[in-house]
Amino acid sequence: MPIRILSPDVASKIAAGEVVERPASVVKELVENSLDAGATQVAIEVQGGGVRLIRVVDNGIGIPPEEVDLAFERFATSKVATADDLEGISSLGFRGEALPSIAAVSEVTMVTRSKDELSGIFVNIKDGAILEKAKRGCPVGTTVTVRNLFRNVPARLKFLKSTATENGHISNLVAQYSLAFPEVRFTLLIDGRTAFRSTGSGNLREVLGSVYGLDVAKAMLMIEAKENADPMLPGVTGFVSPITLTRASRSYMSFFVNRRWVQNRMLTYALEEAYQGLLMVGRHPIAVINISLHPKELDVNVHPTKNEVRFRNERDIFSAIQKAVRNTLTVQAPMPTLDTLSGPPQPVTASQAERLPAFANSPEEAVTRTPIATPPQSTEPVAKSLPILRVVGQLANTYIIAEGPDGMYLIDQHAAHERVLFEKIRNERSRRAVEVQGLLQPVTVELTVSQQELLELQSEALSEYGFGIEHFGERTYLVRSVPAVLRGQNVAQSLVEVLDFLAEGEKGDRREEIAISLACHGAVRAGQALSHEEMRDLIRQLEQASQPRTCPHGRPTMIHLSSSQLEKGFGRR
Ligand code: ADP
Ligand code: MG
């Protein structure tokens, strides 16, 4: 075949194919025109998956009578005039292609009335030509009706999916525009049934409720808006899901650039980067991200469908999104940090010790306290506090040898440390000043049914001690923080062991036992070599404990050989 110029009919169908891929593309173009016309109400109606009928009714500015014909001409637009205008597009449409493209592959009627006119104009267009044009009474605004889409393009018709699939694309599209334009009231009628509606109140969280349901809408975190931001820098607003609210698919992330719905991998990547390490593999956030940019920073003229954009400075956008989202996640759902309130232990005088809370000082407390914390009855009454001890050395990497004013002390390093930690933890909890260790990477823990039951039962107590635990589905939990005493320990194992420790005994209040179990896990082990310094520290802390002579389980922390016992033993007396 020799080269020749295509007939207008063939050329327009080829061009239309780029714009109108499926029924949802028609809905998109018509809705964009309504929004560009400043409509506050957009009603969409479809029948037969959009193939039989698509109608979009708006209350926008309408088209003046003398311009109606032009609207259906290729490259006829009211939105740009010069090539320079392409540099700073702020409307959704600008190519002047939609109406002629739609008209090339369907039968279109339009009724429109601009606000200065007393009546409207009706036009009927078939195969791109105006068949009928007449005055008609109608409210200000525009109604476009598209019938028999693709009937003259059988190849395209064949490739359409089921009615349900096409309806799904249309619903999604309307939902996306409602998210981008919360101040516009959208309704979508599918085969006579209301499939979607938004109120047009301007409240994005409310639209989220219409799109994703109330529970999601309530849980979503509003992105903190930055004040006095540089207008040349990208602004990021919208909503993101907390890390506890995720989806298995990426289709719950919506991005709008200057209110244009765009699909862009960099944007998705930036968002997911902000959740890095916070979500389980294969889970994705829900998000509505509005990016506002100076129009000059953006090229929207990339593809006839206009849902691709190019950014002049991708890196700025990337970091703006990542920062805004990360900031929202940390500010509104704070990750536990080290509690600086509890500093290093200070020497405590006897009178101060009496004023320390929660050491079984009040009678009620003494009654409700489990017997574990009090010394076993069998031991002879012991002096409450310890004298000042001088560390001599370590025995078998297990015992500390110390000297006091009245003889020698052999101290079990694990039992002693347990006592110290137990009192510290218990004291901190009662002061609500528990030292918490946030985990950079949350740890997932699989629990058994009974462990899970215990966890749910004791969740409040566990959180008072600094455990940040979230249910992750089934029997999986996510540990985000632990009591600081467990620093450096295997988190999953420690939690399971605390639960197993709680499994023995009755249900009730188990705070004491939790403290015991934590102390046990955090304490130095027998067999661990300690420096002289470490031993001295431990003994200093033990001296300040309220009940230094027993571990929280009730076993002795030390054996005392008094000076007189020594003398007796060696036959000195
Ligand atoms: P574009 O949106 O790229 O300008 P279209 O083919 O979609 O091109 O529309 C052509 C012109 O028709 C628009 O520029 C606008 O002036 C007018 N128009 C189309 N739809 C509407 C509408 N719903 N309300 C008001 N004007 C409209
Ligand atoms: Mg348009």
Domains of the chain: 8-199 (3.30.565.10), 220-332 (3.30.230.10), 356-373+383-561 (3.30.1540.20)
Q: Is 36 in contact with 79 (CB distance < 8 Å)? A: yes
Q: How many angstroms separate the alpha carbon of residue 35 from the centre of ligand 1?
A: 10
- Amino acid identity of 457? L
The Cβ of residue 462 has, within 10 Å, a number of other Cβ atoms equal to 24
Q: How many angstroms separate the alpha carbon of residue 84 from the centre of ligand 2?
A: 19
- Residue among 135, 86, 81, 106 at smallest CA distance from 30: 106
Helix (H) or strand (E) holding 469: strand 468-471
Burial class (CB in 10 A: 0-12, 13-18, 19+), 142: buried
Which of 54, 77, 143 most suits a substitution to test ligand 1, by most atoms within 8 Å of the C-beta?
Answer: 77
Place of tokens 């509890």: 342
pLDDT for 94: 82
Give the side-chain half-sphere CA count within 13 A for 166: 25
Between CA 282 and CA 291, with CA 288 as vertex, the angle to 5 degrees is 120
Contacts of 556 (CB under 8 A, 6+ apart): 379, 412, 415, 549, 550
Nearest CA to ligand 1 atom 21: 33
CA distance 512 to 467: 15
524 lines ligand 1 (CB under 6 A): no
77 lines ligand 1 (CB under 6 A): yes
Check residue 247 and report its DSSP letter: B
CA distance 302 to 309: 6
- Could you tell me where the DSSP H helices lie in 199-286? 204-212, 214-219, 265-274
pLDDT for 384: 54
Length of the chain: 573
114 lines ligand 1 (CB under 6 A): no
pLDDT for 380: 34
Give pLDDT tens digits along the chain (573 positions): 788 887 777 777 777 777 788 999 999 999 999 999 999 999 999 999 999 999 999 999 999 999 998 888 887 888 877 777 777 777 888 878 889 899 999 999 999 999 889 999 999 998 778 899 999 999 999 999 999 999 888 888 888 888 888 998 999 999 999 999 999 999 999 999 998 999 999 999 999 999 888 888 999 999 976 665 677 778 999 999 998 888 878 888 999 999 999 988 899 999 998 988 777 777 889 999 999 998 888 888 777 777 778 888 889 899 999 999 988 887 775 433 323 223 333 333 333 333 333 223 333 333 322 233 333 334 333 445 678 899 999 999 999 999 988 889 999 999 999 999 999 999 999 888 889 988 888 899 988 888 888 898 899 999 999 999 999 888 899 999 999 999 888 888 889 888 888 877 666 788 888 999 999 989 999 999 999 999 999 999 998 888 888 888 777 899 988 888 888 888 887
pLDDT for 358: 29
Q: How many angstroms separate the alpha carbon of residue 290 from the centre of ligand 1?
A: 24
143 lines ligand 1 (CB under 6 A): no
Q: Is 529 in contact with 479 (CB distance < 8 Å)? A: no
Q: How many angstroms separate the alpha carbon of residue 29 from the centre of ligand 1?
A: 9
**Both tokens assigned to 527:** 């067999």
Nearest CA to ligand 1 atom 25: 62
58 lines ligand 1 (CB under 6 A): yes
DSSP helix/strand/coil, 282: coil
Which of 20, 36, 123 most suits a substitution to test ligand 1, by most atoms within 8 Å of the C-beta?
Answer: 36
pLDDT for 38: 96
Ligand lying closest to the C-alpha of residue 60 = 1
The region that residue 92 occupies, defined by phi over 0 for left and psi between -120 and 50 for alpha, beta otherwise, is alpha
Helix (H) or strand (E) holding 537: helix 532-544
93 lines ligand 1 (CB under 6 A): yes
The Cβ of residue 232 has, within 10 Å, a number of other Cβ atoms equal to 11
For the chain, helix, strand, coil in percent to 5 are 40, 20, 40
pTM value is 0.60
Question: DSSP of 94-159, one letter per residue?
Answer: -SS-HHHHHHHTSEEEEEEE-TT-SSEEEEEEETTEEEEEEEE---SEEEEEEESTTTT-HHHHHH
- Residue among 444, 441, 499, 454 at smallest CA distance from 476: 444
Q: Is 234 in contact with 317 (CB distance < 8 Å)? A: yes
Contacts of 414 (CB under 8 A, 6+ apart): 398, 523, 524, 525, 526, 551
Q: Is 518 in contact with 489 (CB distance < 8 Å)? A: no
CA 342 centroid distance within chain? 31
CA distance 38 to 77: 16
- Amino acid identity of 351? S
Q: How many angstroms separate the alpha carbon of residue 170 from the centre of ligand 2?
A: 17
56 lines ligand 1 (CB under 6 A): no
37 lines ligand 1 (CB under 6 A): yes
- Residue among 31, 33, 64 at smallest CA distance from 45: 31
Catalogue the long-range contacts made by 194-199 (C-beta closer than 8 Å, 24 or more residues apart). Answer: 195/167, 195/171, 196/171
142 lines ligand 1 (CB under 6 A): yes
61 lines ligand 1 (CB under 6 A): yes
CA distance 166 to 173: 11
301 lines ligand 1 (CB under 6 A): no
Nearest CA to ligand 1 atom 19: 33
CA distance 397 to 528: 5
